[in-house]
Amino acid sequence: NTAEIMPGEFTRSADFSLPVERLKKAIRTAAGDDKAHFFDATRTATALFGSSLGANMFMLGFAFQHGGLPLSAEAVEKAIELNGQSVAMNVSAFRWGRRAAHQPNFVRALVVQPGTAAQNTAVAETLDDVITRRVAFL
């Protein structure tokens, strides 16, 4: 997740800045260029679901699609259902993460950047909701 979330160190050092590029380089070095993938899950989850709560499940789907989990998609979705918390949103976030891994530019295009005139504050629970909203926008 490329979202820059300030750690507690920021409270002790007002000029603290995240060494984002250095962190990415370290990840690429450790994992290999072909296995290191970066995506702003926080911004995407906020755009799709109205809050960043789906970011972790989005990243789980992203990692799953890149082969990072030794489970089936059905097993992950069943675990989400058994957990019982925000099931529709979490399943949708998992599926959107998979889509982002497969078609990152498509998913990025759905996320309206802050400050643009076309922002829509509707909360989407499913892919169909997002498609309906986008068709209406066009």
> Where do the domains of the chain lie?
1-38, 40-113+120-137
Name the nearest CA neighbour of 42 among 2, 13, 6. Answer: 2
Per-residue tokens: 48: 């799709």
pLDDT digits (tens, 9 = 90+) for 89-110: 999 999 999 999 999 999 988 8
- Give the per-residue pLDDT at 113: 58
pTM for the predicted model, two decimal places: 0.71
Q: Please, which pLDDT band fits residue 115 given cuts at 50, 70 and 90?
A: low
- Give the per-residue pLDDT at 116: 45
- Give the per-residue pLDDT at 27: 85
Assess contact for 124 and 107: CB atoms under 8 A. Answer: no
pLDDT at 12 over 70: yes
pLDDT at 81 over 90: yes
Residue 59 to residue 42: CA distance in whole angstroms: 9
Beta strands in the chain (DSSP E): none
Assess contact for 20 and 85: CB atoms under 8 A. Answer: no
pLDDT at 6 over 70: no
